[in-house]
Structure 1
Amino acid sequence: MGGVNIYAIIESGGKQYKVTPGQLVEVDLFDLAEGDSIELDKVLMLNDGETVTIGSPTVPGAKVTATVAGHIKGDKVFAYRFKAKSRNHKKTGHRQLYTVLTIGEILTGGAAEKPARKPRAKKTNEVTTDGA
């Protein structure tokens, strides 16, 4: 139907993201300047258009390169604390900082699908009758 569908599932900041080349992704804040490059090596799954490789826990040798497109603040989240009958209340807010990454290329690093395991032979309990 369409072109080759290459994508990877990566982990960053304890969260998982499905990324494709050229995509913009908002991840937790990295201490990098705008325009810097970064290699994300925690690739959990890789689809190169022909085969799907699932890591255990990561795919060995696979990397995703990205460049920092900028830094943004997320939506404001409010927390409200209220105590009845004492006229005590407090409202606080928080805005999470994010780094916007532009995904460059997905490097497979020669990752190949593991062959299926052979089933183990069942152990039999043989009784030996050596005189003792």
Structure 2
Amino acid sequence: MYAIVRTGGKQYQVAAGDRLKVEKLEGEVGETVELSDVLLVADGENVTIGAPIVDGAKIVAKIVEQGRDKKVLVFKKKRRKNYQVLRGHRQPFTALSIEQIMQ
């Protein structure tokens, strides 16, 4: 059984037992989170597609980690103008462990 869920503006294919790294969600490590924007649920031959979401479907996940990703460097330069800028950015993330897919 697997599902496609939308969180943080992105879509992820998940199954029970998967570990997933998503945009930052509120909550402490060890808490349970419910994701309700389920776009598709597939259980063997039975496939339910939402319009746009599947009614009554939700995904129960446990927060494993709250952290910040690796640094991304952004370098800008304009030739012959003596202009260069180097900036860094670390995006916050939440690591989830998928516990259960409810339909």
Q: Same fold (TM over 0.5)?
A: yes
Once residues 83 and 5 of structure 2 are traced to their aligned partners in structure 1, the CA distance between those partners, rounded to angstroms, is 45
The correspondence for 1:49, drawn from 30, 33, 44, is 44
Instruction: Tell me the TM-score normalised to structure 2 length.
Output: 0.94
Percent identical pairs in the alignment equals 39
- 1:92 and 2:90 correspond: no
The correspondence for 1:71, drawn from 66, 84, 100, is 66
- 1:14 and 2:9 correspond: yes
Task: Give the counterpart letter for 1:7 in structure 2.
Answer: Y
Instruction: Tell me the TM-score normalised to structure 1 length.
Output: 0.74
**Deviation by residue 1:16-71 (Cα, 9 ceiling, x = unmatched):** 00000011000000121000111111100001223000000000000100010012
Deviation at 1:87, TM superposition (A): 2.0
Indicate the structure with greater strand content: 2
Q: Which runs of 5+ in 1 are unaligned?
A: 1-5, 109-132
Relative contact order higher in (CA < 8 Å, ≥ 6 apart): 2
Task: Give the counterpart letter for 2:89 in structure 1.
Answer: H
Structure 1 or 2, whichever has the larger Rg, is 1
Deviation at 1:81, TM superposition (A): 1.4
Once residues 89 and 102 of structure 1 are traced to their aligned partners in structure 2, the CA distance between those partners, rounded to angstroms, is 42
Deviation at 1:77, TM superposition (A): 1.6
CA root-mean-square deviation: 1.1
- 2:17 counterpart SS class: coil
Q: After the TM superposition, which parts of structure 1 deviate over 4 Å for at least 4 consecutive aligned residues?
A: none
- 1:40 and 2:35 correspond: yes
Task: Give the counterpart letter for 1:41 in structure 2.
Answer: S
Q: Which runs of 5+ in 2 are unaligned?
A: none
Deviation at 1:78, TM superposition (A): 1.4
Task: Give the counterpart letter for 2:33 in structure 1.
Answer: I
